[in-house]
Amino acid sequence: MKILNVLFIIIFVAFAALQYNDPDPYIWIPIYLYAAFLCFLSNKNKYYPALYTVGLTVYLSYAAYLFFDKTGVLNWVKEHDAENLVQTMKATKPWIEETREFGGLFIVIIVLIVNMISSKKNKG
């Protein structure tokens, strides 16, 4: 688990750094840095359930919003036939931007859940 946490610390810090030119970096830089911080703590065998609860609550709520928003993931699937998300790095269509953001949140959520389960098992 330690190697995966180091890998995700690097990935999440890199993701945060790449947000500087995003339309909403004030949202995404903290999202990725908070996930990197939780991976760092997990790597140091420190587990604080309240920090995971706060993070997962925010991430899951925002993911639900991006999924059901009028230009979100459902709109991308239903109205735009799951159009290619990686044809260009510049997301000129809102459904592409929101679907990519949902994907980023999905990665963060999965990593934090795995860390949370792993940390609970190690404490028990």
Map out the domains of the chain as residue ranges.
2-123
Question: For the chain, what is the mean pLDDT?
Answer: 85
Cβ-proximal residues to 25 (8 Å cutoff; 6+ apart), any chain: 19
Give, as one character, the DSSP assignment of residue 45.
Answer: T
Residue 103 has a pLDDT of 87
Residue 84 has a pLDDT of 58
Are 115 and 89 in contact, with CB atoms under 8 Å apart?
A: no
- Which of the listed ranges 11-25, 29-43, 67-81, 107-121 does the model predict with the highest average pLDDT? 29-43
Q: How far apart are CA 103 and CA 124, in angstroms?
A: 32
pTM, full prediction:
0.86
Residue 98 has a pLDDT of 76
